[in-house]
Amino acid sequence: ATRTPPPRAPVPPPAPAMADAGGSKRLWLEEDIESDLRWSYTVKSILHTGKSEFQDVELVDTGPFGKVLLLDGKLQSAERDEFVYHECLVHPALLAHPCPKTVFIAGGGEGSTAREVLRHKTVEKCVMVDIDGVVVTFCKKHLDVNKEAFEDPRLELIIGDARSGLEGYDGKFDVIVGDLADPVWGNPCYQLYTQAYYEMCKSKLNPGGVLVTQSGPAGVLSCTEVYTVIHNTLKQVFPKVVPAAHHVPSFADTWGWQIAFCDEATGAELGEAEIDARIAARVEGELAHYDGRCHARSSR
């Protein structure tokens, strides 16, 4: 669902714990970051809960991050900083392309990735395929920030498997965006990070096409979990792959993305001034985080 989940390996959702803070009871939500590392944050209220055949779905109002979307107890997206993840996922890839008209999103049920894609004036069609219709419906109803994106006539929403949705779609795309759970062994998304999958993606891209995918934790201690593996897998398929990373506070780590290019020309390095000029000319409204300076600092 949202970045569709950039979480770590799935674990049973922890029960909220009551803690005594200065003589008053407070509700805390604990989340496992690693098997031996856990963090917690205060819960002001539990706004909505639901369940699909795939996962538990919750919307919780927290102290540090505002409203947060939880899937199986793991934070997927936070009101206070989701723009960092989604702007860094979408805009570098679309701005690198000279004129992106057609975009495919694998995952992204939260709607935030589609929201950022549809801010590009050149985009004529955005196809989003997410497997969990309950999450999509839940986010449509409760995430006001994405209501316009879900109602945009350029958005074609398909509930189903992203791989088969892309492979069987009639037509090709200028940009493919992977907003999926990390490739943890046993997770259904694992097959959407393989060399065979990327070769299929490349065949569904128009000449000069671009693929971007979220790539999990990219910190000094966490980058070898999936970030470097995804980068090396993409390099077996695409002539140029550019890694990027940026800190996302609610993920408790630096987060990573990979941008893969079908040709070297499209993947040419863009300076800060050129990024800012393309944003001004091609993106509706003001971005909250991504700009030329951010681009220079997040590319590795």
Active site residues: 179
How many Cα atoms are found within 13 Å in the side-chain-facing hemisphere of 75? Answer: 31
CA atoms within 13 A on the CB side of 36: 0
Residue 82 to residue 214: CA distance in whole angstroms = 13
Q: Phi-psi region for residue 252, left (φ > 0), alpha (ψ -120 to 50) or beta?
A: left
Strands 102-107 and 125-130: parallel
CB atoms within 10 A of CB 229: 15
Distance (Å) of CA 238 to CA 70, 210, 272: 34, 10, 25
Comparing C-alpha atoms, which of 165, 93, 158 is closest to residue 132?
158
The three-class DSSP label of residue 128 is: strand
Sheet holding 253-261, edge to edge: 155-159, 125-130, 102-107, 173-179, 205-217, 253-261, 240-248
250 C-beta neighbours (distance < 10 Å), count: 22
How many CB atoms are located within 10 Å of the residue 59 CB? 20
Residue 56 structure tokens: 């538990």
